[in-house]
Amino acid sequence: MLLVVVSSAACYPLIKTGLAYAPALRFAGLRTLLAGLGLLGILALKSERLWPRGTLGWWIVPLGLTATTLTFGTMFLSPAYLGTGLATVLGNLQPLLIILLAAVFLGEPLTLSRVTVLVLALAGLVLISLSQEQGGEFHALHGALLALGSSSGAAVASVMIKKLRPGPELPVLTAWQLVAGSLPLLAWSWMVEPAAINWTPLFGGLLLILSLAGTSLTALVWFWLLQQTEAGTLALWLFLVPILGLLFAFLYYGERLEGLAIWGVLLMLLALGAALVASFRDRFGTGSVE
């Protein structure tokens, strides 16, 4: 989960840097296409299956549209309209959405401790969001909707993977949904983005990092973790992403934490601490001698 959290938080400033060299949708499409092809290449080298068994193949397109087209398309567009910190915050509301969807579709319990953690974390997110300067009301609203689209796509895809439980077919399913989801992004870019990519060593390096480490590896680890434990339990750890995202935004772009943002971060750290206590209690029990 630390790998997933750090990688996800670092993506936003890297995306904002890369947007100076490539249109957003083309950047997103290339990132996810290379990620999927990279996974398929690894599977081919290992002589693994290159197509999922049974009915899992029917889920490639639905997963691709949610986990890749919607999630990555809006993720790449939102930093152009919002500060990096706020884009990270709104783009990572999926813990709330995952917990709610898991309660409805997976039957996972919505316990009092989990609700308390959510309330604390969301209060922190609100304070952080209120502290950010925006470039005009419509500008900010447009960016916020895009960032929320990223959260929604990621949450729906996570619950779908949890429900499907692909097991050993997970790597090939992940690879093909990345490839399938990248094609609408590239087609959309071809229709609405006339600008060409400025290929430089810096952009090439960013693209490789985002594709292989930030997408292939992170998606595979996250989907694998969903097979091992409750989606709601894992989702609570994702509240670390906005905090690290704000830290990276400060290190890369000098976006400072002031006033309400500091209190927001403290509330989110308190929420994480409460989640750890609840997780420890649920795992080991209270009063147990085992």
pLDDT band of residue 136 (cuts 50, 70, 90) is very low
Q: Each residue of 99-115: pLDDT tens digit?
A: 889 988 999 888 887 88
Q: Each residue of 137-166: pLDDT tens digit?
A: 445 566 667 777 888 999 999 999 999 999
Q: Which segment of 3-7, 87-91, 137-141, 264-268 scores lowest on mean pLDDT? A: 137-141
Q: pTM, whole model, 2 decimals?
A: 0.85
Q: Each residue of 33-44: pLDDT tens digit?
A: 999 999 999 999
In a domain, 242, yes or no: yes
pLDDT at 288: 42
In a domain, 288, yes or no: no
Q: What average pLDDT does the segment 239-256 reach?
A: 77
CA end-to-end span of the chain, whole Å?
Answer: 27
Assess whether pLDDT exceeds 70 at residue 228.
yes
**Domain, as residue range, for 92:** 2-282
Question: Are 214 and 68 a contacting pair, CB within 8 Å?
Answer: no
Element (H, E) at 87: helix 84-90
In a domain, 151, yes or no: yes
pLDDT at 4: 92
Pairwise CA distance, residues 99 & 102, whole Å: 5
Determine what percent of the chain is predicted with pLDDT higher than 70: 85
pLDDT at 244: 84
In a domain, 290, yes or no: no
Give the chain's mean pLDDT. Answer: 84
Q: Each residue of 187-223: pLDDT tens digit?
A: 999 999 988 999 999 999 999 999 999 999 999 999 9
In a domain, 289, yes or no: no
Place of tokens 């604390």: 120
In a domain, 75, yes or no: yes
pLDDT at 280: 67
Assess whether pLDDT exceeds 50 at residue 287.
no
Q: Each residue of 78-100: pLDDT tens digit?
A: 766 665 556 556 666 788 889 88
Pairwise CA distance, residues 79 & 68, whole Å: 17
Alpha carbon dihedral 27, 31, 37, 43, in 10-degree steps, equals: 180
Q: What average pLDDT does the segment 162-176 reach?
A: 95
Q: CA nearest 91: which of 24, 173, 183, 12?
A: 12
pLDDT at 289: 38
Domain count for the chain: 1
